[in-house]
């Protein structure tokens, strides 16, 4: 496979770029004209660390790499702009398979309005994808960092959590399906559809870009996406904001089917939800008087649930009160995992 030939094939298949891109792939650099401030994030997915080719299709791997990068832009309240893709290609991945990876990425790019504006490719020992994404907003102050949470703010969470961890568990344990139906006491059809949803949740996450912009527009004071898991990511937000977070474990919105998978696996569903990661939902702090408006907007425009899961308090760290009364004092992801 020649690098130039592959790049030429990739360029032919790229979806049209957005209006900010004045010169796309194929020159020394892409040229864009941002119309305000930019938010830029980089993410890398490495075979054997972040994905396994046996469990995910190449298109799903491409989708997930771009999704995890765009999720960081969602957490800033940014509009998706440009994506730049580096592909490390091992000897057993051929040119057609590289195109499959790119096609998975291009599908999500079109769905989110992101432009694939450039990239590089190299031979490598293992498959890896390094993605840089650039998001846009009117001014630097329009973005929501992790640092602005204030005591008294409500702590809110989009969607449901635990689904990605449950999906990973199902992927890793193909024989779990029967147990899942039996111990979970779900009927067969409902169990199958819930299982598929959990697996999709793990393999093809959705970056909450529109939700992030809505939360930013409703005055979110701090925001982070859940990549490491609620326990760890809440800690990152608390640390950067210099505040404490109190979370009521009983209020956490758990993914449909999580309880059944957890039961079949002999795990605590809350532990999976809090420590599992990769849900890519948004955790934000909001002035309490914005809660009702933000909830309504998200439901109406995105059909997405917003749940108040706790509050910002003076102090440090994250406290998660479990329904059985136990208290998890979180110093980060490792302690909860």
Q: Which of 13, 15, 48, 299 binds a second copy (CB under 8 A)?
A: 48
Paired with 47 in beta bridges are 51
DSSP code string of 306-317 = EEEEEEEESSSE
Query: Contacts with a second copy in 298-317 (CB under 8 A)?
Result: none
Q: Does 214 bind a second copy (CB under 8 A)?
A: no
Smallest distance, a second copy to C-beta of residue 66, A: 14
Q: Does 40 bind a second copy (CB under 8 A)?
A: yes
CA 38 to chain centre: 20
Q: Does 7 bind a second copy (CB under 8 A)?
A: no
Interface characters, 228-267, with a second copy (x: CB under 8 A): ------------x---------------------------
Q: What CA–CA distance (Å, rounded) separates 70 from 168?
A: 21
Smallest distance, a second copy to C-beta of residue 254, A: 24
Q: Does 337 bind a second copy (CB under 8 A)?
A: no
Q: Which of 155, 198, 211, 223 binds a second copy (CB under 8 A)?
A: 223
Radius of gyration of the chain (CA): 20
End-to-end CA distance of the chain: 42
By beta-carbon proximity to a second copy, the closer residue of 85 and 272 is 85
**Which pairing describes strands 79-89 and 115-123: parallel, antiparallel, or unpaired?**
parallel
Cβ–Cβ < 8 Å for 255, 201: yes
Q: What CA–CA distance (Å, rounded) separates 173 from 168?
A: 9
Q: Please, which residues have CB within 8 angstroms of residue 118's CB and are 6 or more apart in sequence?
A: 24, 25, 29, 30, 82, 84, 85
Retrieve residue 242's tokens. 């210099």
By beta-carbon proximity to a second copy, the closer residue of 241 and 295 is 241
Q: Which of 125, 189, 266, 324 binds a second copy (CB under 8 A)?
A: 125
Smallest distance, a second copy to C-beta of residue 38, A: 5
Q: Does 44 bind a second copy (CB under 8 A)?
A: yes
Q: What CA–CA distance (Å, rounded) separates 12 from 132?
A: 21
By beta-carbon proximity to a second copy, the closer residue of 145 and 202 is 145
Using the contact rule CB under 8 A, the part of the chain among 18-26, 190-198, 253-261, 290-298 near a second copy is 18-26
Retrieve residue 290's tokens. 């914005």
By beta-carbon proximity to a second copy, the closer residue of 143 and 180 is 143
Q: Please, which residues have CB within 8 angstroms of residue 19's CB and are 6 or more apart in sequence?
A: none
Instruction: Provide the binding-site residues for a second copy, judged by CB under 8 A.
Output: 2, 4, 22-23, 26-34, 36-46, 48-50, 72-73, 75-76, 78, 82, 84-86, 88, 117-126, 128, 130, 132, 134-135, 139-140, 143, 145-147, 223-225, 240, 332, 334
């Amino acid at each position: 496979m020649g690098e130039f030939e592959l790049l030429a094939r990739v360029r032919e298949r790229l979806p049209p770029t957005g209006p900010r891109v004045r010169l796309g792939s194929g020159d020394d650099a892409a040229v864009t004209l941002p119309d305000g401030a930019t938010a830029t994030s980089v993410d890398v997915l490495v075979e054997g660390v972040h994905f396994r080719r046996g469990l995910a299709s190449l298109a799903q791997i491409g989708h997930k790499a771009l999704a995890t990068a765009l999720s960081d832009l969602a957490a800033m309240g940014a509009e998706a702009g440009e994506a730049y893709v580096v592909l490390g290609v091992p000897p057993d991945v051929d040119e057609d398979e590289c195109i499959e990876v790119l096609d998975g990425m291009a599908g999500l790019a079109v769905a989110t309005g992101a432009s694939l504006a450039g990239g590089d490719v190299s031979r490598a020992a293992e498959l890896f994808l390094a993605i840089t994404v650039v998001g846009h907003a009117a001014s630097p102050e329009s973005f929501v960092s992790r640092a602005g949470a204030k005591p008294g703010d409500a702590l809110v969470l989009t969607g449901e959590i635990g689904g990605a961890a449950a999906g990973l568990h199902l992927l890793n344990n193909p024989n779990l399906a029967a147990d899942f139906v039996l111990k979970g006491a779900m009927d067969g059809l409902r169990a199958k559809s819930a299982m598929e949803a959990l697996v999709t949740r793990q393999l093809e996450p959705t970056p909450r870009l529109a939700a992030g912009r809505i939360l930013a527009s409703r005055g979110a004071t701090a925001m982070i996406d859940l990549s490491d898991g609620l326990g760890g990511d809440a800690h990152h937000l608390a640390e950067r904001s210099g505040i404490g977070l109190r979370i009521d474990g009983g209020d956490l919105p758990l993914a449909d089917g999580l309880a059944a998978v957890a039961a079949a696996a002999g795990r605590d569903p809350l532990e999976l939800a809090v420590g599992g990661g990769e849900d890519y939902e948004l955790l934000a702090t909001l002035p309490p008087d914005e809660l009702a408006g933000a909830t309504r907007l998200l439901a109406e425009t995105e059909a997405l649930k917003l749940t108040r899961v706790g509050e910002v308090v003076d102090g440090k760290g994250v406290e998660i009160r479990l329904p059985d009364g136990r208290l998890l004092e979180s110093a980060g992801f490792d302690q909860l995992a």
